Amino acid sequence: MTQVPSATSSPGATSATVNLRSVPDPAAPEPRTLLVTVTGDDRPGVTRALFAALEPLPVEVLDLEQAVLRGHLSLSALLAVGEREAEVKAVVQRTAYELGMTATVSAGYGDNRSRATGRAVVTLLGSPLRATHVALLADRLARHGANIDRIRRLSRYPVTTIEFDISGADLGALRGEIAFAAAGAGVDVAVSPAGLARRGRRLIVMDVDSTLIQDEVIELLARHAGREAEVAAVTEAAMRGELDFAASLHARVATLAGLPDTVFDEVRAAVRLTPGARTLVRTLKRLGFTVAVVSGGFVEVVAPLAAELGIDHARANRLEVVDGRLTGRVLGPVVDRAGKAEALREFAALEGLPLHRTVAIGDGANDLDMLASAGLGIAFNAKPTVREQADASVTVPFLDAVLFLLGISREEVEEADALDLATVE
């Protein structure tokens, strides 16, 4: 072992007080190691029994992993054993036999092989998730020379979500190819940077119409003017990117001229949240994340909805009202495709967060700039052109599935809900 000093002396001093810490000598030979794997029916006390049996021996634990799948336990330990290899093997085999389990022991040298650079997290969502989907992902990873380091399940309901920690991948190239293949296979996938990029506070910015809510607000307003079918056709074309959003918005708003402003209360009462919307916002707020909405719809409906859900920031268009009636005009600049991206950047600046710590969620062509600007852009039940360009896609009708793309499991969400309920009671 080498001794590495950590000096605390001042400039020009002739002596120094140092803290010494031991670090491995890179020139030293690799120690003899054993990889021990114990498998069998899961029950409390297995880990305790194994390590209590090993305690009298000079064993150093270099790595330890455990997984339980439908009551079947697999416990693996990498141990530096020195000259006591035979004794360690015998103890492991005897302990496993006493537990009614199976043990395998393989010898080697040194620690785990260092994981390659290019670490990422690939999240696979399916309802149902089929073997074909996992095979497709594994094939694409292998083609890129990526290694799967760890796998865990994040949810079984409302979708099955599996998270893969990988290394050795070109993140940009892998993301594009997997997204294209997944779209053709009818499964959702996301590729995200690993490490600190997935931890810490984030800003989540959502579209409103057909994302946070199931409706298009302007169509609900148009229903009161008897122009719903006409407006719906224009909205659909604009969301596909076939029409300029600002021009289409002005044309649709013109059909609302003459409606009383009491229509806002009626529309707010008719709005239907997307399934999972409350769970998504509630969980993000528990994590200390900032949540914002930005909409090509109207602040008269969006702002009260955001306040009800505890959303931090909201931006939308404002309708002109004169003498209690809508004039058919929009006040100020239109919140369009570019406006949504600008809102995301402004919200991030207000919160002191860099763009790589932002997540954008949307469904239409007017969300594309926002999705591209964010660290992670998620297409939610989106038009084909949006799915193709987003970093990730969710095609199930549950907005809280976004949580799984952020590495949050269904069990963690349910435990937090149960704890809140117990606190209230």
The series of mean pLDDT values per 10 residues for the chain, 425 residues long, is 43 43 55 92 94 93 91 94 91 96 91 71 93 92 89 92 90 80 86 80 96 93 87 79 83 92 94 97 95 96 96 97 96 94 98 96 95 95 89 92 94 86 62
Q: How many residues does the chain have?
A: 425
| Catalytic residue list | 207, 209
In 5-130, which residue ranges form alpha helices assigned H by DSSP? 46-54, 85-99
Residue 356: the pLDDT is 92
Q: What is 32-109's CATH superfamily? A: ACT domain (3.30.70.260)
d(CA 317, CA 154): 38
Residue 18: the pLDDT is 42
Residue 17: the pLDDT is 45
Residue 12: the pLDDT is 45
Six token digits for residue 383: 């038009």
Residue 328: the pLDDT is 94
Label the pairing between strands 203-206 and 290-298. Answer: parallel
DSSP 70: T
168 close to 117: Cβ distance less than 8 angstroms: yes
Q: Which pTM value belongs to this model?
A: 0.80
Q: Is the peptide bond before 128 cis (omega within 30 degrees of 0)?
A: yes
The two domains 120-198 and 203-394 share their CATH topology (first three levels equal): no
What are the structural domain ranges in the chain? 32-109, 120-198, 203-394
Label the pairing between strands 325-331 and 358-362. Answer: unpaired
Six token digits for residue 146: 């990526």
Q: Which phi and psi (to 5°) does residue 296 adopt?
A: -80, 0
DSSP 400: G
d(CA 8, CA 10): 7
Location of structure tokens 């790595």 = 63
Q: 203-394 in CATH: which number?
A: 3.40.50.1000
d(CA 378, CA 181): 16
Q: 120-198 in CATH: which number?
A: 3.30.70.260
